[in-house]
Amino acid sequence: MPQLEASVDIDFQSDVYKQAYSRINAIVIEGEEQAYENYLQLTAMLPDHEETLTKLAKMENRHKKGFEACGRNLNVTPDLEFARQFFAQLHHNFQNAAAQGKLVTCLLIQALIIECFAIAAYNIYIPVADPFARKITEGVVKDEYLHLNFGEEWLKANFEASREELEEANRQNLPLVWQMLNQVEADARVLGMEKEALVEDFMIAYGEALSNIGFSTRDIMRMSAYGLRAA
Ligand code: PL3
Ligand code: FE2
Ligand code: FE2
């Protein structure tokens, strides 16, 4: 298990580690902040689920605080400007969809794509994290499964009506994930995380989600590799 052994060799106080951490930590903080805002925004489109969505949003706010503490613990200042750029396009697509009342697209972006990205990243990070961040991340990742589950359940219950919009939203947004992974590849490796492992875990989580919603294996193969070759 190279991922587990790697943690022994990592110098969490080295300049190269802290440099990489300033960007990855910022990405996670910004991602949690946007997730918080996105779930609050979703309450307007899903008033029946207002209470649940507000709970999910509050979890995201706690996650953000947890990851801010991880940065402070290592004496790292997060590069938030970098992180805003990192999320700019996905953020734009969510806002655009929300402005058009495209609930299905918003759910695909936040509850499926972003949550699966987070689940993959956090699970890969846990064995190579410093002890403080490991504890925090273990708590966070449990919540992310609840967020993913919310999206899955709603989309499953509305599968036939959502199907076409899901396919279109997948086509537009999944290629962004591969681009984002390319952008963090070098920094993630410094933290002991391999891009191949991130891609694999993302594919598994996303494929399972699509399956739970009602897509066939054939659909999933087609959809989940969308844009991967160009990346
Ligand atoms: C929503 O709950 C969370 C949104 C956060 C998205 C995170 C994406 C992380 C990609 C960067 C890979 C390294 C992660 C390291 C973990 C501290
Ligand atoms: Fe979160
Ligand atoms: Fe989440």
The predicted-structure confidence for 189-226, as pLDDT tens digits, reads as follows: 999 999 999 999 999 999 999 999 999 999 999 998 78
As a whole number of angstroms, the distance between CA 77 and CA 114 comes to: 24
Name the residue of 27, 144, 145, 147 whose CB sits within 8 Å of the most ligand 1 atoms, as the mutation to test its pocket. Answer: 27
Q: In this model, does residue 140 exceed pLDDT 80?
A: yes
The predicted model scores a pTM of 0.94
- Is 28's C-beta closer than 6 angstroms to any atom of ligand 1? yes
Q: In this model, does residue 114 exceed pLDDT 70?
A: yes
Q: Name the residue with the closest Cα to ligand 1, atom 5.
A: 31
Distance 121 CA to ligand 1 centre (A): 5
Task: Give residue 44's pLDDT.
Answer: 97
Q: In this model, does residue 100 exceed pLDDT 90?
A: yes
> Lowest-confidence range among 8-12, 49-53, 55-59, 177-181?
8-12
pLDDT digit string, tens, across residues 42-95: 999 999 999 999 999 999 999 999 999 999 999 999 999 999 999 999 999 999
Q: Name the residue with the closest Cα to ligand 1, atom 14.
A: 121
As a whole number of angstroms, the distance between CA 209 and CA 13 comes to: 38
Give mean pLDDT, residues 156-160: 98
Residues having C-beta closer than 5 Å to ion ligand 3: 35, 144, 147
Q: How confident is the model at residue 184 (pLDDT cuts 50, 70, 90)?
A: very high
Task: Give residue 231's pLDDT.
Answer: 61
- Is 121's C-beta closer than 6 angstroms to any atom of ligand 1? yes
Task: Give residue 224's pLDDT.
Answer: 87
Backbone dihedral angles phi then psi of residue 64, each to the nearest 5 degrees = -55, -45
Distance 59 CA to ligand 2 centre (A): 7
Burial of 95 (0-12, 13-18, 19+ CB in 10 A): middle
Contact present, 119 and 145 (Cβ < 8 Å) = yes
Q: In this model, does residue 3 exceed pLDDT 80?
A: no
Give mean pLDDT, residues 99-103: 98
Q: In this model, does residue 112 exceed pLDDT 70?
A: yes
Q: In this model, does residue 177 exceed pLDDT 60?
A: yes
- Is 20's C-beta closer than 6 angstroms to any atom of ligand 1? no
The residues, any chain, with a CB within 8 Å of residue 192's CB and separated by 6 or more, are: 3, 6, 7, 10, 128
Backbone dihedral angles phi then psi of residue 222, each to the nearest 5 degrees = -65, -45
Task: Give residue 211's pLDDT.
Answer: 98
- Is 144's C-beta closer than 6 angstroms to any atom of ligand 1? yes
- Is 109's C-beta closer than 6 angstroms to any atom of ligand 1? no
Q: In this model, does residue 4 exceed pLDDT 80?
A: no
Question: Which atom of ligand 1 is nearest to 30's Cα?
Answer: 5
Q: In this model, does residue 1 exceed pLDDT 50?
A: no
Contact present, 51 and 2 (Cβ < 8 Å) = no
